[in-house]
Amino acid sequence: MPRGVLRSAPQGLTAAPAAGARADFAARQSVARTARLALARSWGLARAPLVAPAPPAKKPVIKPRKGFEVGDQAELGLPPVFTTVPTKDKVVFLTIDDGSNKDPEFLKMMSELHIPYTAFLTDQEIQDDYGYFKKAERLGVTLNNHTLTHPYLPGLSYAEQKHEICGMQKIMKKHYGKAPQMMRPPFGNYNEDTLKAAKSCGIKYAPIWNAEVFVDKLDYREEDRDIHPGDIILTHFRGRDEWKGTMPDMVRKFMKYVTDKGYAVARLEDYL
């Protein structure tokens, strides 16, 4: 054989390592699934949460939900109010409002189970413990604006609405290092001044919701009383003083429901 020419190994010898690698990968995947199921069961779930697909390389165009537009929405480039993200992925987005209940077990549960969620915070509910939500942020939670005092915004003047929204932007930047790009109007109520005020201090999106989960039930916006790909789901930071259970109890209710329907929970920010 000429120098520099390598003889090919017999076919059987090259196939074995490849087959071995595949078998090893399959074994590791099986171990991971078993561990994930065991962890889910330790938190009271019969099934492990489904894993969301990779974030879309091309982000969907977010438009206001039909009928939810305000006067000069398009001309002024105001933040869209929407209840669902346009996607064919079988995912929903969990969003949690206000911040009154600060359960450390909830943070631990969501972190261990890798369940993403987005928080919309109200200053009067979080000012007794800004640090709790700093911990949430370190665990990968995006913190957003839900106004200073949770008022009925359409009942306020433009200046008053701007104070509520932009004042919360300042609070968020002070305590968490940056001003959010999302604002949820309290009660889902808003007018053109709301969106103008929000835009003036950097808000790009105003998501509301298509369903709401409680510790003992779900409420739906749609007549079919179901969830759909891309739906935004609302809940609140609540405990036994206001619910018949805890935040982890709510998560168990929610995750059983969405998992049984074949949905994964994805990060809202990954689709914006």
pLDDT in tens, 119-158: 999 999 999 999 999 999 999 999 999 999 999 999 999 9
Whether pTM > 0.85 for this model: the answer is: yes
CA dihedral 68→71→75→81, nearest 10 degrees, is -20
DSSP string covering 17-38, please?
Answer: HHHHHHHHHHHHHHHHHHHHHH
Q: Which residue has the tokens 């201090």?
A: 201
Spatial neighbors of 36 by CB under 8 A, at least 6 apart, are 48
**Residues pairing with 183 in the sheet:** 145
CATH 3.20.20.370 assigned to domain 43-271? The reply is yes
Helix (H, G, I), strand (E, B) or coil at 53: coil
pLDDT digits over 175-229, tens only? 999 999 999 999 999 999 999 999 999 999 999 999 999 999 999 999 999 999 9
- pLDDT tens digit string along 63-81? 999 999 999 999 999 999 9
What's the burial of 176, exposed, middle or buried (CB within 10 Å: 0-12/13-18/19+)? middle
Place of tokens 């020419």: 5
Task: Place 32 in a pLDDT band, splitting at 50, 70 and 90.
Answer: confident
Q: Is 81 helix (H, G, I), strand (E, B) or coil?
A: strand
The pLDDT score that the predictor gives to residue 47 is 96
> Are 215 and 250 a contacting pair, CB within 8 Å?
yes
Rounded CA separation 53/124 (Å):
36
Amino acid, single-letter form, for residue 175: H
pLDDT class of 60 with cuts at 50, 70, 90: very high
